[in-house]
């Protein structure tokens, strides 16, 4: 076939199979990501902020319950302990949920894992909403634990699901949906916690009852959407179901190319069972991928954003804002989070993961340093507290523009199908342990270093930026096999399944053409046109 015939054939192919618009083709994928995130990562973000507004009412409820049960007022130390348990048990539940997700995801699949997870959220919402009426403080604590389990499963199952259904050209943008809905959840918790809404003594249980709404919404809509086609092909060997799922997600009838790509990967990994966490940690082929995910998740929690919330009210007071107006000003931080996360989702496929991570942590280092100086010198001039407020907003924006969502994307991109469930277990474990560590140690750090405590977080952000600059390759628009190849030299070990791929790569580097490239194109044209 000469060039003129080839051009005519391609033109005929384009006319006979018009390609639907990009937005239309990805409409189902966007719908799935929104439904999945609303019932999953939204609830995680909501639970991060929902306990702030009713703190004094919950403590009063604890005191009344204790006095009614034991006939005396609760000891202040005991009250502090109960409140600390109420806040921190969320992270303990998250760790338990993370350890459960590998088994649930393997047996039920990605979509069904999210559906089953709604049971934890609904049970927790009912327990916490009814705790005041029943007069049992234990119900509130158990409910917080169950919401932690829900968050642990959601933050592993949802990114895994989105990573497996996404075409590589929009994988980053779709992965950012998780971060966007975390920010929307935080903002919603702040908004509903206002005194005019549910942040008052008579209505605070409804703040927790609201959590049943996203869970019920997902429970009623997600069953009508497909399972992950990669899961169906790799683990259920259901090619017909996978083809149907691909057609729904991609909005086109001919999905042979996508199915063949997954089948090729499946044939390569046919004899590779799902790795356990122990096997993943011992494997030399993914050593640096595991280290990268561990450092990414640790920096995600240890970068100091949780400490920012501790200082926000005091900084606003120093700036002359009255206590009654502080909850409304705090909403600005939630709004900044949402805008920065949306910005990241819009530019991640142009800029890539690596620049956003390095830039985000680098800017956080800079603004943490400025914030330390402004907090130390805030009594020297009336305008300095306002500079502190700007630094807080800048730190939040820098975090949400990259480090706030990319860690979940990378965990799905750095590992092959057989390694991914164990990788998400490792990532989730590090995430929740780091979350618990910050909650446990930050009061002591703050007491010892006062305003200089932010220098600790600046050091963490700086170390993370340096690591990603020297170690992390760009994963934008690359297949899982290509990303694995990028780490192979650093691992000093090439997986057996990648020898073929490396041979092809060597042929390209040595200038030898691929033998079957032209015949594949001709076969494609003949099969579709002739």
Cα angle: 252, vertex 257, 259; to 5 degrees: 90
Give dist(CA 504, CA 276) in Å, integer. 30
Q: What is the reported pTM?
A: 0.77
Grouping H, G, I as helix, E, B as strand and the rest as coil, residue 474 is: coil
Query: What does the pLDDT read at residue 522?
Result: 37
Query: What does the pLDDT read at residue 6?
Result: 40
* Tens digits of residue pLDDT in 303-350: 888 777 666 766 777 666 777 777 787 888 888 888 988 888 888 888
Residues 6+ apart with CB under 8 A from 249: 28, 29, 32, 165, 226, 229
Query: What does the pLDDT read at residue 200?
Result: 83
* Tens digits of residue pLDDT in 90-111: 888 998 998 888 788 778 888 8
Between 507 and 282, name the one with better pLDDT: 282
Give dist(CA 148, CA 89) in Å, integer. 7
Phi and psi at residue 242, in whole multiples of 5°? -65, -40
- Kindly tell me if the per-residue pLDDT of 505 is higher than 60: no
Which of 197-206, 243-252, 335-344 is predicted with the least confidence, judged by mean pLDDT? 243-252
Give dist(CA 440, CA 122) in Å, integer. 28
- Band (402; pLDDT cuts 50, 70, 90): confident
Neighbours of 431 (CB within 10 A): 29
Written as one string, the DSSP assignment of 94-139 is: HHHHHHHHHHHHHHH-HHHHHHHHHHHHHHHHHHHHHHHHHT-HHH
Nearest to 307 by CA among 356, 371, 363: 371
Which of 14-18, 46-50, 514-518 is predicted with the least confidence, judged by mean pLDDT? 514-518
Which of 38-52, 203-217, 412-426, 454-468 is predicted with the least confidence, judged by mean pLDDT? 412-426
What does the mean pLDDT of the chain come to? Answer: 79
- Kindly tell me if the per-residue pLDDT of 251 is higher than 90: no
* Tens digits of residue pLDDT in 357-401: 999 999 999 999 998 898 888 777 878 888 888 888 899 999 988
């Amino acid at each position: 076939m000469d060039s003129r015939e080839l051009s005519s054939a391609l033109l005929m192919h384009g006319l006979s199979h018009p390609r639907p618009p990009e937005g239309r083709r990805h409409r189902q994928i966007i719908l799935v990501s929104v439904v999945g995130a609303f019932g999953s990562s939204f609830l995680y973000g909501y639970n991060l902020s929902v306990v702030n507004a009713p703190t004094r009412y919950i403590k009063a409820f604890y005191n009344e319950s204790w006095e009614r049960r034991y006939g005396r007022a609760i000891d202040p130390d005991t009250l502090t302990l109960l409140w600390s348990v109420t806040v921190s048990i969320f992270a303990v539940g998250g760790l338990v949920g993370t350890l459960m997700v590998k088994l649930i995801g393997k047996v039920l699949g990605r979509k069904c894992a999210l559906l089953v997870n709604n049971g934890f959220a609904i049970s927790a919402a009912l327990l916490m909403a009814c705790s005041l009426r029943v007069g049992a403080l234990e119900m509130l604590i158990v409910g917080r634990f169950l919401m932690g389990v829900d968050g642990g499963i959601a933050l592993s199952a949802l990114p895994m699901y989105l990573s497996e259904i996404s075409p590589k050209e929009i994988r980053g943008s779709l992965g950012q949906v998780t971060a966007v809905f975390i920010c929307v959840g935080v903002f919603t918790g702040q908004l509903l916690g206002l005194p005019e809404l549910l942040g008052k003594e008579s209505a605070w249980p409804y703040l927790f009852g609201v959590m049943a709404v996203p869970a019920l919404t997902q429970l009623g809509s997600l069953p009508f959407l497909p399972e992950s086609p990669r899961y169906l092909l790799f683990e259920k060997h259901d090619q017909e179901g996978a083809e149907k799922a691909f057609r729904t997600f991609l909005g086109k009838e001919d999905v042979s190319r996508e199915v063949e790509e997954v089948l090729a990967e499946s044939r390569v990994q046919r004899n590779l069972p799902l790795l356990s966490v122990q096997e993943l940690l011992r494997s030399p082929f993914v050593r640096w991928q595991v280290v990268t995910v561990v450092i990414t998740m640790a920096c995600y929690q240890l970068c100091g954003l949780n400490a920012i919330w501790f200082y926000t009210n005091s900084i606003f007071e120093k700036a002359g804002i009255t206590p009654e107006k502080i909850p409304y000003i705090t909403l600005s931080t939630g709004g900044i989070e949402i805008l920065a996360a949306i910005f990241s989702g819009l530019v991640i496929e142009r800029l890539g993961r690596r620049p956003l991570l390095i830039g985000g942590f680098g800017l956080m280092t800079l603004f943490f340093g400025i914030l330390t100086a402004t907090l130390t010198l805030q009594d020297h001039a009336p305008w300095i507290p306002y500079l502190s407020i700007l630094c807080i907003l800048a730190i939040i924006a820098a975090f949400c523009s990259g480090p706030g969502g990319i860690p979940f994307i990378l965990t799905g991109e750095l590992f092959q199908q057989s390694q991914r469930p164990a990788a998400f277990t490792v990532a989730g474990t590090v995430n929740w342990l780091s979350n618990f560590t910050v909650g446990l140690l930050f009061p002591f750090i703050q007491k010892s270093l006062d305003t200089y405590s932010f220098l600790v977080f600046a050091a963490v952000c700086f170390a993370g930026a340096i690591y990603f600059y020297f170690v992390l390759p760009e994963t934008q628009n690359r297949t899982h096999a290509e990303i694995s190849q990028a780490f192979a030299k650093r691992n000093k070990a090439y997986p057996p399944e990648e020898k073929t791929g490396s041979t092809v790569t060597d042929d390209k580097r040595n200038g030898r053409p691929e033998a079957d490239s032209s015949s594949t194109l001709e076969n494609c044209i003949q099969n579709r046109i002739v």
